[in-house]
Structure 1
Amino acid sequence: MNRRCITGTLGPGLLVLSLASGAVVRAEPVFSPAATDSCVSAAYASSPGLSGHGVLDCIGRAAAACMMTPDGDTTVGMMVCLDGELGYWNARLTAAFAERLADAEAQDAELRTLGSAAASIEESLRAMQQAWLSFRDASCLYEQAQWMGGTGGGPATLACHLHETARQALKLEGWWAQ
Protein backbone atom coordinates (compact mmCIF):
# COMPACT_ATOMS: atom_id res chain seq x y z
CA MET A 1 0.00 0.00 0.00
CA ASN A 2 1.37 3.41 -0.97
CA ARG A 3 0.86 5.94 1.85
CA ARG A 4 2.00 9.50 1.49
CA CYS A 5 2.01 12.03 4.29
CA ILE A 6 1.41 15.63 3.30
CA THR A 7 1.81 18.41 5.85
CA GLY A 8 0.09 21.74 5.41
CA THR A 9 -2.07 24.20 7.24
CA LEU A 10 -5.80 24.65 7.25
CA GLY A 11 -6.56 27.97 8.84
CA PRO A 12 -4.99 29.31 12.03
CA GLY A 13 -4.25 26.81 14.73
CA LEU A 14 -4.67 23.62 12.72
CA LEU A 15 -2.07 21.21 11.41
CA VAL A 16 -3.37 18.75 8.86
CA LEU A 17 -1.84 15.39 8.11
CA SER A 18 -3.45 13.89 5.04
CA LEU A 19 -3.12 10.16 4.58
CA ALA A 20 -4.33 8.08 1.63
CA SER A 21 -6.96 6.49 3.91
CA GLY A 22 -8.35 9.78 5.26
CA ALA A 23 -7.47 12.99 7.04
CA VAL A 24 -6.37 13.51 10.62
CA VAL A 25 -6.69 17.01 12.02
CA ARG A 26 -4.49 17.97 14.97
CA ALA A 27 -5.14 21.14 16.86
CA GLU A 28 -2.26 23.14 18.27
CA PRO A 29 -2.14 23.38 22.06
CA VAL A 30 -4.02 26.30 23.54
CA PHE A 31 -1.81 28.66 25.52
CA SER A 32 -3.14 30.34 28.65
CA PRO A 33 -1.03 32.74 30.74
CA ALA A 34 -2.94 31.78 33.90
CA ALA A 35 -0.17 29.71 35.55
CA THR A 36 2.45 32.42 35.12
CA ASP A 37 0.07 35.25 35.96
CA SER A 38 -1.11 33.68 39.22
CA CYS A 39 2.49 32.85 40.20
CA VAL A 40 3.58 36.46 39.60
CA SER A 41 0.58 37.72 41.58
CA ALA A 42 1.55 35.45 44.48
CA ALA A 43 5.15 36.69 44.25
CA TYR A 44 3.94 40.30 44.45
CA ALA A 45 1.84 39.43 47.49
CA SER A 46 4.73 37.74 49.28
CA SER A 47 7.28 40.43 48.39
CA PRO A 48 5.55 43.82 48.42
CA GLY A 49 8.92 45.56 48.15
CA LEU A 50 9.64 43.64 44.94
CA SER A 51 12.89 42.39 46.41
CA GLY A 52 12.25 38.64 46.39
CA HIS A 53 13.73 36.35 43.78
CA GLY A 54 10.91 33.80 43.97
CA VAL A 55 9.25 35.59 41.06
CA LEU A 56 11.92 34.10 38.81
CA ASP A 57 10.34 30.69 39.41
CA CYS A 58 7.23 31.97 37.64
CA ILE A 59 9.01 32.30 34.32
CA GLY A 60 7.96 29.49 32.00
CA ARG A 61 5.09 28.20 34.17
CA ALA A 62 2.37 28.84 31.60
CA ALA A 63 4.48 27.44 28.75
CA ALA A 64 5.19 24.31 30.80
CA ALA A 65 1.48 23.88 31.55
CA CYS A 66 0.69 24.32 27.85
CA MET A 67 3.28 21.70 26.91
CA MET A 68 1.50 19.22 29.18
CA THR A 69 -1.70 19.51 27.12
CA PRO A 70 -2.46 17.30 24.11
CA ASP A 71 -0.13 18.19 21.22
CA GLY A 72 1.93 20.42 23.50
CA ASP A 73 4.81 17.94 23.59
CA THR A 74 5.60 18.08 19.87
CA THR A 75 8.22 20.45 18.50
CA VAL A 76 5.50 22.59 16.93
CA GLY A 77 3.43 22.41 20.12
CA MET A 78 6.40 23.44 22.27
CA MET A 79 7.01 26.41 20.00
CA VAL A 80 3.35 27.47 20.23
CA CYS A 81 3.47 27.25 24.02
CA LEU A 82 6.80 29.04 24.38
CA ASP A 83 5.77 31.73 21.91
CA GLY A 84 2.54 32.25 23.86
CA GLU A 85 4.40 32.96 27.08
CA LEU A 86 7.00 35.04 25.24
CA GLY A 87 4.10 37.23 24.06
CA TYR A 88 2.91 37.55 27.67
CA TRP A 89 6.34 38.76 28.83
CA ASN A 90 6.81 40.98 25.76
CA ALA A 91 3.57 42.78 26.64
CA ARG A 92 4.76 43.28 30.23
CA LEU A 93 8.17 44.46 29.00
CA THR A 94 6.61 46.95 26.59
CA ALA A 95 4.35 48.37 29.31
CA ALA A 96 7.18 48.57 31.87
CA PHE A 97 9.54 50.22 29.38
CA ALA A 98 6.89 52.81 28.45
CA GLU A 99 6.34 53.59 32.13
CA ARG A 100 10.09 53.89 32.83
CA LEU A 101 10.47 56.06 29.72
CA ALA A 102 7.73 58.45 30.87
CA ASP A 103 9.36 58.64 34.31
CA ALA A 104 12.77 59.30 32.73
CA GLU A 105 11.40 62.06 30.52
CA ALA A 106 9.78 63.74 33.53
CA GLN A 107 12.96 63.45 35.59
CA ASP A 108 15.06 64.86 32.73
CA ALA A 109 12.65 67.80 32.35
CA GLU A 110 12.88 68.52 36.07
CA LEU A 111 16.68 68.36 35.99
CA ARG A 112 16.76 70.75 33.02
CA THR A 113 14.64 73.29 34.92
CA LEU A 114 17.21 73.10 37.74
CA GLY A 115 20.03 73.70 35.27
CA SER A 116 21.56 70.28 35.96
CA ALA A 117 24.35 68.94 33.78
CA ALA A 118 23.54 65.34 34.77
CA ALA A 119 23.40 62.70 32.06
CA SER A 120 19.99 62.17 30.50
CA ILE A 121 18.07 59.39 32.23
CA GLU A 122 15.99 58.86 29.10
CA GLU A 123 19.07 58.46 26.90
CA SER A 124 20.61 56.08 29.45
CA LEU A 125 17.43 54.02 29.55
CA ARG A 126 17.25 53.80 25.77
CA ALA A 127 20.95 52.84 25.53
CA MET A 128 20.51 50.19 28.23
CA GLN A 129 17.49 48.68 26.46
CA GLN A 130 19.28 48.64 23.10
CA ALA A 131 22.32 46.94 24.66
CA TRP A 132 20.02 44.45 26.39
CA LEU A 133 18.36 43.58 23.05
CA SER A 134 21.78 42.90 21.53
CA PHE A 135 22.75 40.78 24.54
CA ARG A 136 19.48 38.81 24.42
CA ASP A 137 19.80 38.11 20.73
CA ALA A 138 23.45 37.04 20.99
CA SER A 139 22.77 34.91 24.05
CA CYS A 140 19.87 33.12 22.38
CA LEU A 141 21.80 32.63 19.15
CA TYR A 142 24.47 30.89 21.22
CA GLU A 143 21.76 28.75 22.84
CA GLN A 144 20.48 27.79 19.39
CA ALA A 145 23.99 26.89 18.21
CA GLN A 146 24.26 24.32 21.01
CA TRP A 147 21.67 22.24 19.14
CA MET A 148 23.92 22.03 16.06
CA GLY A 149 21.01 22.40 13.64
CA GLY A 150 18.75 19.89 15.42
CA THR A 151 15.02 20.35 15.81
CA GLY A 152 15.43 21.26 19.48
CA GLY A 153 17.10 24.51 18.43
CA GLY A 154 13.79 26.24 17.72
CA PRO A 155 12.22 25.56 21.11
CA ALA A 156 15.55 26.24 22.87
CA THR A 157 15.85 29.61 21.16
CA LEU A 158 12.26 30.56 22.03
CA ALA A 159 12.80 29.44 25.63
CA CYS A 160 15.89 31.63 25.82
CA HIS A 161 13.99 34.65 24.46
CA LEU A 162 11.18 33.96 26.92
CA HIS A 163 13.51 33.78 29.95
CA GLU A 164 15.61 36.80 29.00
CA THR A 165 12.53 38.89 28.15
CA ALA A 166 10.83 37.92 31.42
CA ARG A 167 13.88 38.91 33.48
CA GLN A 168 14.11 42.26 31.70
CA ALA A 169 10.38 42.89 32.14
CA LEU A 170 10.61 42.16 35.86
CA LYS A 171 13.66 44.41 36.20
CA LEU A 172 11.89 47.29 34.46
CA GLU A 173 8.78 46.69 36.58
CA GLY A 174 10.94 47.48 39.60
CA TRP A 175 11.96 44.11 40.96
CA TRP A 176 15.29 44.24 42.76
CA ALA A 177 15.48 48.02 42.51
CA GLN A 178 17.83 49.60 45.02
Structure 2
Amino acid sequence: MRPLAISLALALAAAPALAQEPQVDPATVRACFDDATGTTPDCVGKAAAACQSQPGGDTTLGISACLQGEAQAWDDLLNAQYKGVRARLLEQGGTDLADQLLDAQRAWIAFRDADCSLVYAIWAEGSIRTVMASDCYLHKTAQRALELRDMGSME
Protein backbone atom coordinates (compact mmCIF):
# COMPACT_ATOMS: atom_id res chain seq x y z
CA MET A 1 0.00 0.00 0.00
CA ARG A 2 1.12 3.57 -0.63
CA PRO A 3 1.88 5.90 2.29
CA LEU A 4 -1.14 8.15 1.66
CA ALA A 5 -3.40 5.18 1.17
CA ILE A 6 -2.22 3.81 4.50
CA SER A 7 -2.90 7.15 6.22
CA LEU A 8 -6.36 7.36 4.71
CA ALA A 9 -7.17 3.75 5.54
CA LEU A 10 -6.05 4.24 9.14
CA ALA A 11 -8.08 7.42 9.46
CA LEU A 12 -11.21 5.67 8.24
CA ALA A 13 -10.58 2.53 10.29
CA ALA A 14 -10.18 4.55 13.49
CA ALA A 15 -13.53 6.28 12.99
CA PRO A 16 -16.91 4.75 13.75
CA ALA A 17 -18.41 2.84 10.85
CA LEU A 18 -21.05 4.56 8.75
CA ALA A 19 -24.54 3.17 9.17
CA GLN A 20 -24.84 2.88 5.42
CA GLU A 21 -21.74 3.64 3.39
CA PRO A 22 -22.47 5.77 0.33
CA GLN A 23 -21.39 4.39 -3.03
CA VAL A 24 -19.85 5.96 -6.13
CA ASP A 25 -21.34 5.05 -9.50
CA PRO A 26 -18.41 3.91 -11.68
CA ALA A 27 -20.50 4.59 -14.80
CA THR A 28 -20.44 8.32 -13.95
CA VAL A 29 -16.65 8.22 -13.79
CA ARG A 30 -16.45 6.23 -17.02
CA ALA A 31 -18.68 8.76 -18.79
CA CYS A 32 -16.43 11.57 -17.58
CA PHE A 33 -13.38 9.69 -18.86
CA ASP A 34 -14.98 8.96 -22.23
CA ASP A 35 -16.29 12.49 -22.81
CA ALA A 36 -13.41 14.50 -21.37
CA THR A 37 -11.26 16.68 -23.52
CA GLY A 38 -7.97 17.62 -21.94
CA THR A 39 -6.79 16.47 -18.54
CA THR A 40 -8.75 18.69 -16.14
CA PRO A 41 -12.43 18.31 -17.05
CA ASP A 42 -15.16 19.73 -14.82
CA CYS A 43 -16.74 16.29 -14.48
CA VAL A 44 -13.96 15.02 -12.17
CA GLY A 45 -15.53 14.89 -8.71
CA LYS A 46 -19.14 14.66 -9.92
CA ALA A 47 -19.47 10.99 -8.99
CA ALA A 48 -18.19 11.82 -5.49
CA ALA A 49 -20.63 14.75 -5.26
CA ALA A 50 -23.55 12.48 -6.22
CA CYS A 51 -22.34 9.94 -3.66
CA GLN A 52 -22.36 12.63 -0.98
CA SER A 53 -26.10 13.12 -1.48
CA GLN A 54 -26.72 9.54 -0.34
CA PRO A 55 -27.42 8.67 3.30
CA GLY A 56 -24.20 9.05 5.25
CA GLY A 57 -22.47 10.85 2.42
CA ASP A 58 -22.66 14.29 3.97
CA THR A 59 -20.45 13.56 6.98
CA THR A 60 -16.69 14.00 7.02
CA LEU A 61 -16.28 10.23 6.79
CA GLY A 62 -18.91 9.97 4.08
CA ILE A 63 -17.34 12.73 2.01
CA SER A 64 -13.94 11.05 2.34
CA ALA A 65 -15.43 7.67 1.39
CA CYS A 66 -17.07 9.21 -1.68
CA LEU A 67 -13.87 10.94 -2.78
CA GLN A 68 -11.90 7.75 -2.26
CA GLY A 69 -14.53 5.74 -4.12
CA GLU A 70 -14.27 7.99 -7.16
CA ALA A 71 -10.47 7.98 -6.89
CA GLN A 72 -10.57 4.17 -6.98
CA ALA A 73 -12.69 4.23 -10.15
CA TRP A 74 -10.18 6.62 -11.75
CA ASP A 75 -7.30 4.43 -10.56
CA ASP A 76 -8.90 1.44 -12.29
CA LEU A 77 -9.09 3.47 -15.51
CA LEU A 78 -5.52 4.68 -15.02
CA ASN A 79 -4.25 1.11 -14.68
CA ALA A 80 -6.08 0.00 -17.82
CA GLN A 81 -4.68 2.96 -19.75
CA TYR A 82 -1.17 2.31 -18.45
CA LYS A 83 -1.30 -1.33 -19.57
CA GLY A 84 -2.54 -0.32 -23.02
CA VAL A 85 0.12 2.35 -23.51
CA ARG A 86 2.84 0.03 -22.25
CA ALA A 87 1.78 -2.73 -24.64
CA ARG A 88 1.73 -0.26 -27.54
CA LEU A 89 5.18 1.04 -26.64
CA LEU A 90 6.54 -2.50 -26.46
CA GLU A 91 5.18 -3.19 -29.94
CA GLN A 92 6.35 0.06 -31.49
CA GLY A 93 9.50 1.00 -29.65
CA GLY A 94 10.60 -2.05 -27.77
CA THR A 95 11.63 -2.45 -24.18
CA ASP A 96 13.41 0.91 -23.87
CA LEU A 97 10.27 2.99 -24.38
CA ALA A 98 8.16 0.70 -22.21
CA ASP A 99 10.77 0.93 -19.45
CA GLN A 100 10.79 4.73 -19.72
CA LEU A 101 7.02 4.69 -19.22
CA LEU A 102 7.46 2.45 -16.18
CA ASP A 103 10.05 4.85 -14.74
CA ALA A 104 7.79 7.83 -15.43
CA GLN A 105 4.81 6.10 -13.83
CA ARG A 106 6.78 5.19 -10.72
CA ALA A 107 8.02 8.78 -10.43
CA TRP A 108 4.48 10.08 -10.93
CA ILE A 109 3.11 7.78 -8.20
CA ALA A 110 5.82 8.97 -5.81
CA PHE A 111 5.02 12.60 -6.67
CA ARG A 112 1.24 12.14 -6.25
CA ASP A 113 1.63 10.36 -2.94
CA ALA A 114 4.14 12.90 -1.61
CA ASP A 115 2.06 15.86 -2.76
CA CYS A 116 -1.18 14.51 -1.29
CA SER A 117 0.64 13.51 1.92
CA LEU A 118 1.75 17.13 2.16
CA VAL A 119 -1.88 18.25 1.82
CA TYR A 120 -2.79 15.81 4.60
CA ALA A 121 0.01 17.18 6.79
CA ILE A 122 -0.96 20.81 6.15
CA TRP A 123 -4.45 20.04 7.44
CA ALA A 124 -3.22 17.67 10.21
CA GLU A 125 -4.88 19.66 12.97
CA GLY A 126 -8.38 19.35 11.52
CA SER A 127 -10.82 16.60 10.68
CA ILE A 128 -10.87 18.00 7.12
CA ARG A 129 -7.40 16.53 6.50
CA THR A 130 -8.73 13.26 5.10
CA VAL A 131 -11.18 15.09 2.84
CA MET A 132 -8.46 17.39 1.52
CA ALA A 133 -5.98 14.55 0.93
CA SER A 134 -8.66 12.38 -0.69
CA ASP A 135 -9.62 15.23 -3.01
CA CYS A 136 -5.96 15.69 -3.95
CA TYR A 137 -5.58 11.98 -4.67
CA LEU A 138 -8.78 11.94 -6.75
CA HIS A 139 -7.85 14.88 -8.96
CA LYS A 140 -4.24 13.82 -9.52
CA THR A 141 -5.30 10.25 -10.35
CA ALA A 142 -8.00 11.41 -12.78
CA GLN A 143 -5.56 13.78 -14.48
CA ARG A 144 -2.98 11.02 -14.93
CA ALA A 145 -5.58 8.57 -16.27
CA LEU A 146 -6.50 11.15 -18.90
CA GLU A 147 -2.84 11.87 -19.68
CA LEU A 148 -2.25 8.16 -20.29
CA ARG A 149 -5.41 7.94 -22.41
CA ASP A 150 -4.13 10.78 -24.57
CA MET A 151 -0.64 9.27 -24.70
CA GLY A 152 -2.16 6.03 -25.98
CA SER A 153 -3.85 7.84 -28.85
CA MET A 154 -0.65 9.49 -30.11
CA GLU A 155 0.55 8.32 -33.47
User: Shared topology, TM-score over 0.5?
Assistant: yes
Q: Give the C-alpha shift of residue 55 in structure 1.
A: 5.7
Pick closer, same or farther for the CA change 1:155–1:177 going to 2, 3 Å. farther
* Separation in structure 2 between the aligned mates of residue 39 and residue 170 of structure 1, nearest angstrom: 10
After superposition, give the CA deviation of every residue in 1:65-100 in whole Å (9 maximum; x if it has no partner). Answer: 111222101111112211110111011010000001
1:90 aligns with 2:75: yes
Task: Report how many residues are paired.
Answer: 140
- 5 Å-filtered alignment, 1:1-178, equals 15=18, 26-43=19-36, 52-53=37-38, 56-109=41-94, 120-174=96-150
* Separation in structure 2 between the aligned mates of residue 129 and residue 77 of structure 1, nearest angstrom: 30
Is the Cα–Cα contact under 8 Å of residues 29 and 73 in structure 2 kept in the other structure?
Answer: no
Q: Percent identity, aligned pairs only?
A: 36
Stretches (4+) displaced over 6 A? none
Q: RMSD of the alignment, in Å? A: 2.4
TM-score (norm 1): 0.69
* Separation in structure 1 between the aligned mates of residue 117 and residue 16 of structure 2, nearest angstrom: 28
Is the Cα–Cα contact under 8 Å of residues 101 and 125 in structure 1 kept in the other structure?
Answer: yes
Specify every segment of 5 or more residues in structure 2 that has no aligned partner in the other structure, as ranges. 1-14
Q: Give the C-alpha shift of residue 177 in structure 1.
A: 5.6
Is the Cα–Cα contact under 8 Å of residues 22 and 62 in structure 2 kept in the other structure?
Answer: yes
As a proportion of its length, which structure holds more strand? 1
* Separation in structure 2 between the aligned mates of residue 173 and residue 167 of structure 1, nearest angstrom: 10
* Separation in structure 1 between the aligned mates of residue 125 and residue 154 of structure 2, nearest angstrom: 39
Is the Cα–Cα contact under 8 Å of residues 40 and 55 in structure 1 kept in the other structure?
Answer: no
Specify every segment of 5 or more residues in structure 1 that has no aligned partner in the other structure, as ranges. 1-6, 10-14, 16-25, 44-51, 113-119
Pick closer, same or farther for the CA change 1:130–1:41 going to 2, 3 Å. closer
As a proportion of its length, which structure holds more helix? 2
